[in-house]
Amino acid sequence: MSRRLDIELTSAREDGTWTWRAAGAKVPKGVVVATLLPNQSKIGDVLKIEADFDIDGITVLSVITQRDKSQKATLLQLIDDKPFVGVTEKLAKKARNDKPRRGKQGPRTDRPDRANREPRELREPRADRPIREPRAPRPDRKAFPPAPEVPKRPIAKRLKPKRVHRTAVLESLPVEQRGVAERALAGGLAAVREAIKSQNAQLKKDGKPEVRADGLISMASDILPKLRVAEWLDKAEAAKADLELLDLRDLRAVVVGSDDPMVVRDESTRALATELKTALKSHQEKEMSNWIEDIKSAVEVSRVVRALKLSGEPPKAGVLFPAELGAQIARATTESLASDAGADRWIAVLEALAFSPIRAQVKPGAAPVATTDALRDTVKRLSPLLPQIAALFGIEVVTGTQAPKPLRPPRQARQIRKPRVKKEQKLTIPPAPQPVAPVSSEAPVAEAPVAEAPVTEVPFESAVGSEAPSSSLQT
């Protein structure tokens, strides 16, 4: 396919061809036959060509003659004996006083004063137009009562422990043991073994001696109990500081962590663990009381969906729901699932009912009159939990179907941050002790200066250091 291109002639060859390149650029470039160029062509001329671009290169087809920009257009000659006289125009300025004035500038001058005007004559009513009756007063707009309020509880705080005790234990360890300690705290002894295994595989691949795992495993076994106790103390002190508003799940997790054998054996944790267990018991009783009160308040103000959602979220797993309160919620739910209710109302109630402990007690009389595809899809999805509702819509429940999960609001897309590159930790290996030669008792002892052995730095991959031949790493 051919297209046009502006080129610049760069040199003339002896074989009768010229080299060229794109005007103002280095590429593309090529060769053009001299017969296609104008007779007086020289180096530096800019021409427009039509070339064919293919796999083999650029082939110049023709040179397009351009119009000389300096050539003037043809003009018509005016034949007249009279000399030419230029015409000038000058507009007269308007006086500002002639313009009508209004607003802040004063009254208009082109109208007479309103006080001197004659009153208008009253018009007689038209005979062909019917007499308009007086308009009836508008009825008052229907006032809707405000939505009933329910008690609002303060938002529970999540546990945010500090690292005071953990940092103190790590700083008390030698530098060469901190990498092993961090790996042991993150994943236990299994993580240390896995790191040693992966590092030995790399050392074997590089032709280097492998690391003996016995000393590192023994070191991690001695350090791990101190780290576990320090980590639990950080969580326990943070829980004690926010004990009134702390989330019950976080407090329960801290109390369960106090039963860890490594934590139980330490005497510094026993008093704090006993205090937290007592606080957990009173906190659970308070949350249970608030839970029952919130459900009753929602039923009293006819907020059925809220009552159903609260009934499926007890503060303690496995707690029995009160039978009398469950019967009240079931009656209110059955009344809200009336046949004349809208499809959106049915969907909202069924989504909350499916995960409530009283779902089997709700049995509506008939399906709604206005059924939509969205409602049928909802009933079909929740049919394993609500078989009595699915029967009203003629939906068969397949045996063994997995129970659905509650719908969650979609989360906003988070910006994925690039992972930070961790600095490669290095393990400082102390020099091996040099053997001392036996000295004769008769010969005088001469003190010779001994040069200090240099300290070797070995890269410490994956927070696990390579083991030196010396006995300083094995404990």
Query: What integer is the mean pLDDT of 73-97?
Result: 73
Per-domain residue ranges of the chain: 2-64, 164-279, 302-392
User: Residue 134: pLDDT above 50?
Assistant: yes
User: Residue 410: pLDDT above 60?
Assistant: yes
Distance CA 164, CA 402 (A): 46
Comparing 347 with 400, which gets the higher pLDDT? 347
Distance CA 426, CA 457 (A): 6
Query: What integer is the mean pLDDT of 2-20?
Result: 84
> Which pTM value belongs to this model?
0.52
> Which tokens belong to 416?
């994925």
Q: How far is CA 107 from CA 94, 97, 116, 119, 138, in A?
A: 20, 12, 15, 21, 42
- Residue 364: CB atoms within 10 Å: 19
> Which tokens belong to 251?
């407090």
What's the gap between Cα 56 and its chain centre? 51
User: Residue 346: pLDDT above 70?
Assistant: yes
Residue 428 contacts by C-beta under 8 Å, 6 or more apart in sequence? 175, 176, 455, 457
Comparing 339 with 147, which gets the higher pLDDT? 339
> Which tokens belong to 126?
């038209």
**Cβ(18)–Cβ(12) below 8 Å:** yes
pLDDT digits (tens, 9 = 90+) for 446-465: 444 444 444 444 343 443 34
Task: Give the end-to-end CA distance of the chain in Å, rounded to a whole number.
Answer: 80
User: Residue 220: pLDDT above 60?
Assistant: yes
Query: What integer is the mean pLDDT of 296-318?
Result: 89
Assigned CATH topology for domain 2-64: OB fold (Dihydrolipoamide Acetyltransferase, E2P) (2.40.50)
pLDDT at 54: 78
Beta bridge partners of 51: 3, 60
pLDDT at 330: 93
